[in-house]
Amino acid sequence: MNARPYLYGLGLTLTLTSGAALAAGDPPECTALRFAEIGWSDITATTGVASALGEALGYAPTTQLVSVPIAFTGVKTGSLDAFLGYWSPSMDSLVAPFRAEGSLRIAETANLEGAKYTLAVPAYAYDAGLRTFQDIARFKDQLGGRIYGIEPGNDGNLLIDEMIKQDQFGLGDFQMIESSEAGMLTQVRRAVRSEQWLVFLGWAPHPMNQSFDMRYLDGGDEVFGPDQGAAQVFTVTAPDYPQRCPNAARLLDNLRFDVPMEGELMASLEAREGTPEEIARQWIKAHPERLDAWLEGVTTREGGDARAAVLASLPQ
């Protein structure tokens, strides 16, 4: 038997199969990649990474600043494609109705482990005895009867509001002050400067943990979750997104971050070193090894070499 025709045919088959796999990509209607953004530095940072990668792969990423509830609703209705900021367990109650009707697809694996989200105080207040949720009411006068949240409609504010309404931990006479992440941090900065007492929403990763000598309160497990609000963060898309745009969906599913990485990105954002996408490109240039996992099974939108496209997009 002459093996050459067989080997030639096998080689041709392998070449065609490999070429077909590489040429998968996504249809033109998937070019737009619309991200929900909620004004939190960590989500700004991770969305910047996703946008930088997406643009390099031939997509046209955009971000829309919305409230947390609108982020989920926008993905459900199709006005947004993805949201990288589902913090669990603090957002679980917001997500529950969407889960029940099957209108969201939540990635099986978190894009961030080791996060934290709960109430915090300056170290001097903690050292003076304000160490738990149960202690807050005891120090009402020093706190001015206030708890500082961030933007209206976010999950943390809703949890604080519910504690006040239910007089949980004796907080029925307290008032929640809503503003924004930046507004709350400005208030914390002013208070710390003069050693005034305050209770505020704190989370990690975030530069606040390096900027302020702060402590997280114990005893809020039934509100923010155990271990001082230990959290995971998940990516959310529409249920049919992997069928419509399999390549983009694979990229989003591949994205995994860590606390040190996000801390570096957020510090650069806080220092105004560039746009989220520019900062992401600089970080990727310094850590190209992260592309191996992020781009596994991913091509450019038109089916080309993803790694080559991303490397070509980085600053020289």
User: pLDDT tens across 151-181, in order?
Assistant: 998 899 999 999 999 999 999 999 999 999 9
Do 95 and 159 reside in the same domain of the chain? no
Do 212 and 283 reside in the same domain of the chain? no
Residue 164 located in a structural domain: yes
Do 108 and 136 reside in the same domain of the chain? no
Tell me the mean pLDDT in the region 238-260: 97
Tell me the mean pLDDT in the region 138-149: 98
Do 236 and 224 reside in the same domain of the chain? no
Q: Give 67-97 pLDDT, tens digit per residue.
A: 999 999 999 999 999 999 999 999 999 999 9
Residue 273 located in a structural domain: yes
Residue 3 located in a structural domain: no
Radius of gyration of the chain (CA): 23
Query: Which amino acid is residue 177, in one-letter code?
Result: I
Tell me the mean pLDDT in the region 91-113: 96
DSSP letter (8 states) at residue 85: E
Do 210 and 184 reside in the same domain of the chain? yes
Do 236 and 108 reside in the same domain of the chain? yes
Residue 296 located in a structural domain: yes
**Where residue 42 falls among pLDDT bands split at 50, 70, 90?**
very high
Lowest mean pLDDT among 18-27, 29-38, 148-157, 211-220: 18-27
Do 33 and 74 reside in the same domain of the chain? yes
Do 100 and 127 reside in the same domain of the chain? no
Residue 12 located in a structural domain: no
| Nearest C-alpha neighbor of 41 from the set 223, 199, 226, 233 | 233
| Nearest C-alpha neighbor of 87 from the set 54, 133, 38 | 38
Count the domains in the chain: 2
| Nearest C-alpha neighbor of 42 from the set 201, 251, 276, 314 | 276
Looking at 180, 206, 229, which one is the last position of a domain? Answer: 229
Asked if residue 285 has pLDDT above 80, the reply is yes
Provide the CATH number for the domain around residue 72: 3.40.190.10
Given this model, what pLDDT does residue 5 score?
Answer: 38
Lowest mean pLDDT among 16-25, 119-128, 166-175: 16-25
Do 167 and 39 reside in the same domain of the chain? no
Q: How far is CA 128 from the centre of its chain?
A: 34
**Where residue 15 falls among pLDDT bands split at 50, 70, 90?**
very low
Tell me the mean pLDDT in the region 248-275: 95
Residue 1 located in a structural domain: no
Domain span including residue 128: 115-229
| Portion of the chain with pLDDT greater than 70, in percent | 93
Asked if residue 100 has pLDDT above 70, the reply is yes
How many Cβ atoms from other residues are within 10 Å of residue 22's Cβ?
Answer: 14
Pair 117, 90: CB distance under 8 Å: yes
Lowest mean pLDDT among 5-19, 76-90, 118-132, 172-186: 5-19
Residue 6 located in a structural domain: no
Lowest mean pLDDT among 10-24, 108-122, 171-185, 199-213: 10-24
Do 105 and 137 reside in the same domain of the chain? no
Q: Read off the pTM.
A: 0.85
Phi first, then psi: give them for residue 108, nearest 5 degrees: -65, -35
Given this model, what pLDDT does residue 10 score?
Answer: 38
**Could you give the angle at the alpha carbon of 113 between the alpha carbons of 108 and 115, nearest 5°?**
130
What sections of the chain are H helices per DSSP?
Answer: 3-22, 41-56, 68-77, 92-101, 123-127, 133-136, 140-143, 155-165, 181-193, 208-211, 221-224, 226-229, 241-244, 246-254, 259-270, 276-286, 291-294, 306-313
Residue 166 has, within 13 A of its CA and on its CB side, a CA count of 9
Looking at 172, 194, 229, which one is the last position of a domain? Answer: 229
